[in-house]
Amino acid sequence: HELEALLEQNSTKSAQEDEQWDRHDFSWSNELEDKMKSVFKIQELRPMQLQTMNVTMSNKDCMLIMPTGGGKSLCFHLPALLSKGVTLVVSPLVSLMEDQIMALVKLNVAAEMLNASTSKDTVNRVQDEMVSHNAPLKLLYVTPEKLAKSKRFMAKLEKMYQLGRFSRLVIDEVHCCSQWGHDFRPDYKFLGIMKRQFPEVPILGLTATATSKVLEDVKKILNIPNCYVFKASFNRPNLYYEVREKSGVQAEAMDEIHKLIKNQFPNQSGIVYCFSKKEADDVTADLRRRGIKAGCYHADLMAVERSRVHQAWLADKIHVVVATVAFGMGIDKPDVRFVIHNSLSKSMENLYQESGRAGRDDKKSHCILFYRLQDVFKQSSMVFTEQTGLENLYGIVAYCIDTNRCRRSVIASHFGEVWDKAHCNGMCDHCDPAKQKSTQTKDITKYCQDVLTVLDHSKRQDQRLTANKLIESWMQKGPVNMRVKGVEAPSSNILTLERIMAYMLIRGYIKEDFHFTPYSTISYLVPGPKAKLLSMGMENVSMDFISSSSQTNGDSQVAVKKSLATTSAENQPKPKLVVINNEKSAFSEMKFA
Ligand code: ADP
Ligand code: MG
Ligand code: ZN
């Protein structure tokens, strides 16, 4: 309830902000418009940019949540030019800073950075500029480590502050402050002292990822409980979202990816995300063998090799980067036509960020995830040690096995937005008129009960079952002692059974039980917290089967597709944070529903 109250406060404040902060009659408004066009060659601002800049120019603290590629940097680049003195920018990655500084220098904006490997001469020169009144320096980028570890630098900052030259503190990827976020960086915690040390300096935090929990945490850590919060919509209208069944046979799965790239995206730029470095190596080799210009990118490759691949891709010398999530922050190629996930991501958040690298130029682009149950367990045995690892993973599994809901609406609800599926414009596989299919709901309670019976039986035999083994026993295949009298072999195909399994998992009818071997972690399945409800007959489960399909695109999608639903009444609507689009301004405001 405390959180609700907090959110409510925010919502009222945000509503006023929209009216108040998108005005054009501030003392800096003319110069802002002028420099936007002359220096940055930008004709029109995007939603939330003007509000953010006006707030920070008014020396107030602000948090901007905007999807990757939305244009957060301009919100401090431009104010930096309008302000006297220096804007300090804290950024988590040296490569991100290098990219931005290169771009700024091209625009004749004086920008510098200091990090662990900056030469002594540069450090001296930059630190002199910080405190000299006629130095041109406008933007100074530092790593959080530099702030936390260098007393000399902090001393210079204090001097700069006393001289009235510390105009603004910008914290890029501000979610790194919070342990609840996905890229927690301990040194970001140090930023908590900045408000106390420099009370007059407005703080601007930027991120693409902030659930309300992370947002509240970040505000607390930074000591800016009353900061303004702006949130831009997460909808990317030009991205087509799709999930496809992945073949269980490696060679067939590769056939399909190859065919897809060759036929639908010939000579176009794209990314294929893989679960592991080994998978990335294998997929790269396979695509190359088949004549696709592909490069590989992951953390085990030397920095020069990674940079070579990135540059070759930017220059269109190679078309496809096959990568792990190490290929991430700061990737800003405008004409990425497709992002393929060869294995599912570890969360909806990750999927959104990774697939969001497509279509920065606003042209139609495709985000295709290849899903197979076995990939869930590869991920789960990695993420189960993280605080909300499994919860996040099951969120994306729910997205994958859903066959009805608009993909956009699932993504939107993940980001606390309300989404009207009519606005999808057929840009997802469930809304696309070319892929319309009708579904039929069937009761699968008996199936689910049988699965639990098989699990009970294996427990009595002192045997642990992985998902594969469980399905095998259920189908009355495999070792005879694992087959259960009274459990009939289901007539459905393996994909259906896998879907039932995934559904039981995310609904808590079964759960994963992890065991360590010297070489790996194995996920076994055991009855979950809600198993009792099923075996006692207190809950019914039903599932939608596709009864007809009018697929016209000739791809090799598996014909039998199912979607899942439950008939139980325990689907209580939870209160959620909602972003309501204001049509007139296309800005959004936060409301509590
Ligand atoms: P992020 O929100 O991920 O930090 P960036 O600030 O890197 O995004 O911006 C992504 C791209 O969008 C950059 O190429 C930038 O020049 C461009 N951009 C930002 N604002 C605008 C705008 N108002 N109009 C056109 N392009 C813009
Ligand atoms: Mg950015
Ligand atoms: Zn849709």
pLDDT of residue 330: 72
Distance 469 CA to ligand 3 centre (A): 35
pLDDT tens, 308-323?
999 999 999 999 999 9
Distances (CA, A) of 279 to 145, 319, 345, 356, 466: 33, 18, 14, 22, 22
- Kindly report the protein residue whose alpha carbon is nearest to atom 15 of ligand 1: 71
Q: Is 274 helix (H, G, I), strand (E, B) or coil?
A: coil
- Ligand closest to the CA atom of residue 405: 3
DSSP count for the chain of H helices, then E strands? 21, 20
Low-confidence ranges of the chain (pLDDT < 70): 1-19, 181-182, 548-593
Quote the ligand 3 centre to 493 CA distance (angstroms): 27
Cα 10 to middle of ligand 2, angstroms: 24
What's the confidence (pLDDT) of residue 553?
39
Rounded distance from Cα 558 to ligand 3 centre (Å): 20
Indicate which ligand has the atom closest to the C-alpha of 237. Answer: 3
Q: What is the ipTM of this complex?
A: 0.98
The answer to whether 182 and 209 have CB atoms below 8 angstroms apart is yes
Q: What is the 3-state secondary structure (H, E, C) of 7-73?
A: HHHHHHHHHHHHHHHCCCCCCCHHHHHHHHHHCCCCCCCCCCHHHHHHHHHCCCCEEEECCCCCCCC
Q: How many whole angstroms from 70 Cα to the centroid of ligand 3?
A: 21
pLDDT in tens, 387-418: 889 999 999 999 999 988 999 999 988 877 77
pLDDT, tens digit (0-9, with 9 covering 90-100), for 526-540? 999 999 999 888 999
Instruction: Output the pTM of the full model.
Output: 0.75
Best mutation site among 40, 41, 74 for ligand 1 pocket (most ligand atoms within 8 Å of CB) = 74
User: Which ligand is nearest to the Cα of residue 42, counting in written order?
Assistant: 1
User: Which residue's alpha carbon is at the smallest distance from atom 19 of ligand 1?
Assistant: 71
User: Rounded to an integer, what distance in angstroms lies between the CA atom of residue 546 and that of residue 359?
Assistant: 31
Nearest Cα residue to atom 9 of ligand 1: 71
Alpha carbon of 404 to ligand 3 centroid (Å) = 9
Least distant ligand from the CA of 422: 3
Instruction: State which ligand 1 atom lies nearest to the alpha carbon of 67.
Output: 2
What is the model's pLDDT at position 187? Answer: 86
Q: How far is the CA of 60 from the centre of ligand 2 (A)?
A: 21
* Distance separating alpha carbons of residues 283 and 261, to the nearest angstrom: 13
The residue whose CA has the least distance to atom 21 of ligand 1 is 71
| CA–centroid distance, residue 358 to ligand 3 (Å) | 17
Mutate to test the pocket of ligand 1, among 22, 66, 233, 332 (most ligand atoms within 8 A of CB): 332
Q: Which residues sit with their C-beta closer than 6 Å to ligand 1?
A: 42, 44-46, 49, 66, 68-74, 332
